[in-house]
A and B are shown apart, each in its own frame.
Chain A
Amino acid sequence: MIAFWIVGAIVVASAVWTVTARKPVYSVVGLLINFAALAALYLSLSAEFLAVIQIIVYSGAILILFLFVIALLSSGVAPFAQGPNRLPRIVVPAVAIVAVALVGLVAGINGAAILTPSVSPSGSPLGPVGSAGVFGSVADFGKALFTTHLLPFEVTALILMVAVIGVVMLAGDQTPYVGSSKQAARVERQAREAILRGGDR
C-alpha cells in the first residue's frame, strides 16, 4: 500500500516535470520516469504482462524515438552546444530514474513481497503469467483481445491508420497545386524566370 502511494507520487511528479521542463530532453526524461513508474503500478496490480510491454514498447521504443527526434531537431541549439558542463545536472534525475526503475522491476518480477496487490480480484489465483486461467496472464489477455474485445482491437487499427495518414497530410508537400501538365509547365517556367531574374524570394 505504501509502495502504491510512493509510485503514485512519482507518476504525478514526473508528469508535472514532463510538462514544465524547459528543455525537451528533460521532458523525455520525465516521461521515462513516468512510464517506468506506471510499469511498477501495473506490477502491483499483477498485470505482469502489461508491465513488461510497457517497459519494452514505451520506455524502450517510443522514448528512444523521441530522443532521436529531439537530437535531430535541436542539434546545434544551445543546450547541446554548451558542452559537457551542463551534463552533471542530469545525473541526479538520471540516477533516480534508474534506481526507481530497477527497484520497481526487481521487486515486481520477484513476486511482489513489498508490492502487495491493492486490488485483488477474488477467485483469480496469482501464478505464472504464461499459463491460462491466471489473472493477467498472456493467454487470457490474448483471448480477450481477439474475442470479447475484438471490435475495440480492430478500431485501434483504424486509429493508427488515421494518425499516419493525418500526419502525412499535415506535413504534406508545400508546393503549389498544379491541376494539369500545362499548368505545371507554367509554374515551372515562372520559377525558372524568377531564378534568372536573380530574385531570391
Chain B
Amino acid sequence: MILNPFGTADWMAIAPIVALAIASLLVLLADLVARPAISRYGAVAIGLLGTAAAAVLAAMQYGHVYAAFFGGFVTGGFTTVFEEIVAIALAGSLALYATLGDPKRIGGTVALMLWGSCGAMLMAGAANLMTIFLGLELLSLALYCLCGMVDRRGARESALKYLILSSTASGFLLFGMALLFGASGSVLLADLARPQLAANPLFWMGSGLFLIGLAFKMSLVPFHAWAPDVYEGAPLPVTAYMSVATKAATLAVFARVLYAALPAGTASHVMLPVWIVAGISMIAGNVGMLAQHDLKRLLAYSGIAQVGYILTAMAGGSALGLRYAIYYLVAYTFMNLGAFAVATAISGEHEEGARLVSYAGLARRRPWLAAAMTFFMLALAGMPPTAGFLGKILILATSADSGYAWLGGLLVAGTAISLYAYAKVVRAMYLPQSGDHHVADLRPIAPLAWISVTLCLIGVIAMTFYPLTPSNVLPLLR
C-alpha cells in the first residue's frame, strides 16, 4: 500500500486554495491579538495579501494541465482564469469591506470571505462530483453567514432565505449527482462522457436534476426569485462578492460539464432546457430591472440577465464561445464590482448607498464617482466605449456562428429593454437633487473604494481596446 500517493504537483495544484485558507487563519489570529483600531485594516491587509498570493500561485499554473488528487482537481488555463476571477471579486469586496464593514466583526467576516473563496476556487478546478459539491457547500455556507453579518432586520431575513432556498438547490444538485453516480459508477466527470451513458435513463434524470441545481445557483429565471431579496438584504460588500463569485464558480462548473463531461452528441439535447431558460432569463431579468428603486435589486435582476448572455456565448459548445463567455464574465466582474464600489463610496454611516434616490445630484457632489458610475452602467447596457459593447458583439457573433441566433435575438431584445433601467441610474445622478431625499452624510473620500472604482474603470475600458481572451482554456479534463 502506498502511504503517500500524492506528489508535489498535487499539492501545488491546490496551492492557491491553501494560501487563502492560511490567510484566513492568520486573519483570525491577528484579530485575536491586535487592538480593534488596527485590526480593521490589518484583517483586510492580510486578506488582500493572501488573495494576491493565491492569484500569483494560480497564475503560475496557467497552461499546466494536471489532474491532481486522482482527478478531483484539474489545473490548467480554465481553472486559472476562473480562480483569477474569484480572486478579483475577493480583492474588490475586501476593499469595500474595509470601507464599510462592521468593525466589530471584520476579522471573522474577512476569514469567511477567504474561506468562501476557497470553495469558489475549488469549484473552478473541480473535476469530480464530490469536489464540486463540497466546493459549492463551502462557498454557500460562508455566504449564508456573511449575508446575516450586519445588525439589520433585512440581513437576517436575507441569510435565512438564502439558506433555505440554496439548500433546496443543493438538494437537487446532490440528488442529480447521486443518479449520475448511479449511472456511471464513478464520481469523476471524465467518466460521465462515456458514450454508453447516452442510453441510460438514470443519466438523463441525473443531469436534469444536476442542471436544475446549477440553474438555481446561477439564478436563472424560474429559480431566480431569491436573488433580488438576498442581494438587497446582504451587506453591500457581500452583495458585490456574491454577485460575481458565485456566478463565476457556478459557471465554471457548468462549463466543465458542458464541454467535457457529456457523452458525445448529447450536449444539444441535455442542455436545450438550459438554453431556453437562459433565453427567458435575458428577457425576464431585464424586465424585472425596470421597476427597481434599489441598486442592489437592480443589479440582481441585471445579473439574472447577464448570466443569460454568458450562457448564450457557450450555447454552441465551441471553444471560441467559451473564450468569449470568459471575456464577458471578466468584463462583468469589473462592471459589477465597480458599480458596487461606487455605491460603497457614497454610503453613509448608517445607510448604504443602495437606494436610487441617494444618487440624486451625485454628479454635482461627486462628479468623478458619477462619471465612473456612468461608465459602469453603459458597460452593463453594452454601450461603447466599454467592454460590455465588445463582449456583446462577440457573443452575438458566436451565437450567429453556432446556430443559436435565436438566443442572440433574445439578447438584443433583452438589452433594448435593459437600457431604460441602466439609464435611470445615470439620470438620477445627473438630475438636480430633489429636496426631500437629501443625503446629508456623504462619507469622506474612502481611498480603498476609490481605488477599486478606478481599477474597475480601467479594466472595463481597457478590455475594449485590448480584447485578450485566454487561448488555452481547453481541454478541461485529462
Contact = CB atoms under 8 A, between A and B. Distances in A.
A166 B112 contact: yes
A171 B128 CA distance: 35
B37 A158 contact: no
22 contacts: A147-B2, A147-B5, A148-B69, A149-B72, A150-B6, A150-B69, A151-B73, A158-B118, A158-B119, A159-B137, A162-B116, A166-B141, A166-B144, A166-B145, A167-B145, A169-B108, A170-B148, A177-B102, A177-B103, A178-B36, A179-B36, A180-B37
Contact of A169 (B103, B105, B116): B105
A155 B142 CA distance: 13
A165 B122 CA distance: 20
A172 interface: yes
B91 interface: no
Contact of B142 (A147, A152, A166, A173): A166
A163 interface: yes
Interface string B22-33: 000000100000
A169 B182 CA distance: 39
Contacts of B105: 169, 172
B134 A159 contact: yes
Interface in B175-192: 182
Q: In terms of DSSP, what is the predominant structure of the interface of chain A? A: helix
Interface of A: 119, 143, 147-152, 155-156, 158-159, 161-163, 165-170, 172-174, 177-180
B141 A162 contact: yes
Contacts of B142: 162, 166
Contacts of A174: 151
Interface of B: 1-2, 5-6, 14, 21, 28, 36-37, 68-70, 72-73, 102-105, 108-109, 111-112, 115-116, 118-119, 122, 128, 130-131, 134-135, 137-138, 141-142, 144-145, 148-149, 151, 159, 182
Contacts of B145: 162, 165-167, 169-170
Contacts of A159: 134, 137-138, 141
Contacts of A152: 72, 128, 130-131, 134
Nearest to A132: B1
Given A152-B134, A179-B37, A165 B112 contact: yes
Given A143-B1, A151-B73, A177-B102, A165 B111 contact: yes
Contacts of B122: 155
A158 B149 CA distance: 19
Contacts of A167: 145
A150 B72 CA distance: 9
B134 A161 contact: no
B103 A170 contact: no
A136 to B, nearest CB: 15
Contact of A168 (B73, B108, B135): B108
A178 B104 CA distance: 8
